Copies of this chain bind each other. A is one copy, B any other.
Amino acid sequence: MNRTQITAGRDAHHRPKGVAADELRRHNLAAVVESLHLHGPVSRSELTATTGLNRSTIADLIGELTNLGLVEEGPAVAPSGPGRPSPMVRTRPQGAVVLAIELSVDSVAVATVGLGGHVYEQVRVPRPRGESAAETVDVVAGLSGELIEGLPADVILTGVGVGVAGVTRRSDGFVQLAPNLGWRNVALGEMLASALGLRDPVLVANEADLGALAEYRRGVGAGVPHLIYISGEAGIGAGIIHDGKPMLGAAGYAGEAGHTLINPDGHLCRCGATGCWETEAGEAALARLAGIPSSVTGLGLVDTVLARANDGDQKTLDALAEIGRWLGLGIGNLINVFNPQLVVLGGFYHPLFPFLEKAVFEGARLGALDAPGDIADIAAGGLGPDAPLIGAAELAISEVIADPAGHSRARSG
């Protein structure tokens, strides 16, 4: 708590800004690119319908985007009725390619992804628990170099997105605390920028926030404007999409739900407190209740539990029911506080979902009030373990989408 810093924030009084005509153009260009990026190729005439803009305006916008190399037109397909067929418009992936990086507890992954979501290449390698930030950055830089080498010659690299399992400041990619990676106060954004040697900005975000973004844009939550993504790795993190936009809080720390108090008589958390949600519903709780040594973690733990559960081992099933119950109770809390339409389970909850489902729903039903509970669903993620990686790509691509012309200008200028 800080009684003085707030005054600084207050000086930045909200002063509504006016907007000129070029802002209009930027907005409309972004609307077209976003639509194509998210929903794939559509005909010109469909674009006029969905955007509400005039035929001639759409023609003009597409012309500009074509010149920018972000979009191309193809032949019309399946002219279903009478009338002149409308050509299909699609993104040009090579017009804007980003490097996506995920630094997770047990693995790191790198991918090259183009506008529209085309994945050029993707690799994932294991990461030893306890590896230092410098070492991990080295590994990632190596992988990134290879992937960039492997790209076709005509692609334009335009940004880097990074997901990391820790408390991350958005403004500069500074990782305050990543207990499960064993990191603290790491200037990850800077380190990666210099290790990669690219002139593009490096955007660093929390893994759960990116999982949420990915599931919202391309997963089970596609088009659901109010959703929460629960990332179960060593700890628990939550990413929140509110009204179609990531909810980040003042500095980007929002969603640290793993360390909310849910059971004062519970177990000691590595954050120093007692009874945090993740001590009752997280990986450590699962190992503890299932009677598996705490040295078995990550994928090893999941595989062991999954094997035993499939064999019908009662102790394992009970353990899953118990952490499922706590998981559900915590989800109920989040439902009360955020009123989402959907809660998406990722991380190790994803493969275990069939065994957790019943207890999770019961716990959530118990914890949530009727009104918000009635409109909330719970589901396993649609993108599996790659959700945060895809989210990292989306994060970087969003910069291009937000200002297609400005971005290209900056690149050629």
Contacts and interface: CB of A to CB of B under 8 A. Distances in A.
Contacts of A53: 18, 20
Given A17-B31, A261-B329, A264-B263, A339 B253 contact: yes
A16 interface: yes
Contacts of A334: 337
A252 interface: yes
A52 B17 contact: yes
A390 to B, nearest CB: 17
B250 A226 contact: yes
Interface centre among A249, A254, A264 (most CB of B within 10 A): A249
A38 interface: yes
B13 A223 contact: yes
A250 B31 contact: no
B39 A250 contact: no
A88 interface: no
Interface string A34-72: 110011000000000011110001000000000000000
Contact of A21 (B3, B21, B339): B21
Nearest to A39: B13
A343 to B, nearest CB: 9
Interface stretch (A78-86, A293-301, A371-379): A371-379
B28 A372 contact: no
Interface stretch (A148-156, A345-353, A358-366): A358-366
Contacts of A361: 1
A177 B13 contact: no
A248 B340 CA distance: 10
A242 B251 contact: no
A173 to B, nearest CB: 14
Contacts of A373: 1
B333 A261 contact: yes
Contacts of A261: 262, 329-330, 332-333, 367
Interface stretch (A4-12, A108-116, A117-125, A129-137): A4-12
A259 B176 contact: no
B337 A6 contact: no
Contact of A259 (B251, B260, B336, B378): B336
A35 B6 contact: no
Nearest to A252: B339
Contact of A167 (B31, B253, B371): B371
A366 B260 contact: no
Nearest to A21: B24
Interface string A289-331: 0000000000000000000000000000000000000000110
Given A19-B28, A253-B339, A273 B367 contact: yes
A222 B13 contact: yes
5 contacts: A6-B377, A15-B50, A177-B369, A247-B247, A257-B336
Q: Nearest 6 pairs between A and B by C-beta?
A: A249-B339, A13-B223, A16-B31, A18-B53, A18-B51, A253-B339
Interface of A: 1-3, 5-6, 9-21, 23-24, 27-28, 30-32, 34-35, 38-39, 50-53, 57, 167, 169, 176-177, 222-226, 238, 242, 244, 247-257, 259-265, 271, 273, 329-330, 332-334, 336-342, 361, 364-378
